Amino acid sequence: MKVVILGPAHPYRGGIAALNERLALAMGRDGHNVRIITFTLQYPGFLFPGKTQFTDDPPPAGIIITRKINAINPLNWIRTGISLRKERPDLVIARFWIPFIGPSLGTICRIIRKNRHSLILGLADNIVPHEKKPGDRMLTAYFIHSLDGIVVMSKSVMDDLDGFDPNKPRKYGPHPIYDHYGRIYGREEALRNLRLDPGYRYMLFFGLVRDYKGLDLVIDAMKEPRLKHQNVRLIVAGEFYSDREKYLDKVKKSALEEQVLFFDRYIPNSEVEDFFNAADIVVQPYKSATQSGVTQVAYHFNKPMLVTRVGGLAETVAHGRAGYVCQPEAGEIAEALHDFFSNDRKKTFETYVAAEKQRFGWDHFTKLFYDLKEECDARKNYGDHS
């Protein structure tokens, strides 16, 4: 089968690009002819809050990536759509994570569908964005209506989809494991690489820092005396996409300068393993979420997790076995972390996580697309003969 994936990929950085690349690799290993078509321009500079959209990492081996889509040029969308319509791929997977991208990918998909051969499936991280803007609903609807079917990675997104097209064929499956970020090795080696004191235990808040991810909640939790005196430190590893100063100010006012360690930069793929191998527990105190790739990096490294009861996070972390599921509230987060460290639950949780991660395998994830394609093809054939 000839498969085209539309969305971010190298040289663009981040978890969305990483998943697209890993999906292409998995489908290629299933015997399909797969390539990714990514952007020549993804966001205009003024819309991008970070330092750069690009990675310095080398391109992933074994994947064909073509830069072709300009997200703000309608003539480019038409040319790209016509080119792919003529190419006649059997399956097109269009990645959706933000309404801004709806017009470009939605137009390309509409044009491809005119060949009456290619099946168009979406892969949606979110349907309703975490940070809403005027016009979001219209842009999202435009994209959704260009699809034959859609795959989602949390039940909350499945529910959100009903508000746009309750009859759209769909499949749900949890975000697959990120197993390409390096090897599992000893905590001592990782702490040495990061130049961190092995006399402390470490929580890890990993990834881009945005307000909805609740870093303020875990900082507030650390103010509680039972945690403050536990010999515990918090590693914040990631670039700030929100106001950095307000977090630094909160840490200072809480007298936590020695307990909260900032690695304020984008973490390249080659360094991810150090941060996760150094961590005792990964914390995701999100105030809003659908699913998170950070959870699946934690699973790869057999790390216990603390997540909040928002979106689909609780669907992938078994409370009391893989970690903790809390309300997004500092007191409850502090209670869970105190339980973890005071009762030394790390090894017990790690054993469960190592066994549980099998259910997030890539064979389960790729099967969602194959099964949904078969279902959509059957609907089309029925319609043609009815």
CA–CA separation, 347 and 304 (whole Å): 9
Q: What is the mean pLDDT of residues 52-66?
A: 87
Q: What is the mean pLDDT of residues 240-253?
A: 92
pLDDT tens string 329-384: 999 999 999 999 999 999 999 999 999 998 899 999 999 999 999 999 998 776 55
| Ordered domains of the chain (ranges, CATH) | 2-176+361-385 (3.40.50.2000), 187-360 (3.40.50.2000)
Within 10 Å of residue 312's Cβ, how many Cβ atoms? 22
Least confident of 24-33, 199-208, 222-231, 342-351: 222-231
Closest CA to 43 of 69, 10, 19: 69
CA–CA separation, 333 and 54 (whole Å): 34
Least confident of 77-81, 117-121, 307-311: 307-311
CA–CA separation, 23 and 6 (whole Å): 12
pLDDT band at 128 (very low <50, low <70, confident <90, very high): confident
DSSP state string for 1-17? -EEEEES--TTB-SHHH
pLDDT higher than threshold 90 for residue 51: no
pLDDT for position 385: 46
Q: What is the mean pLDDT of residues 4-24?
A: 95
pLDDT for position 50: 62
- Which one has a higher pLDDT value, 291 or 368? 368
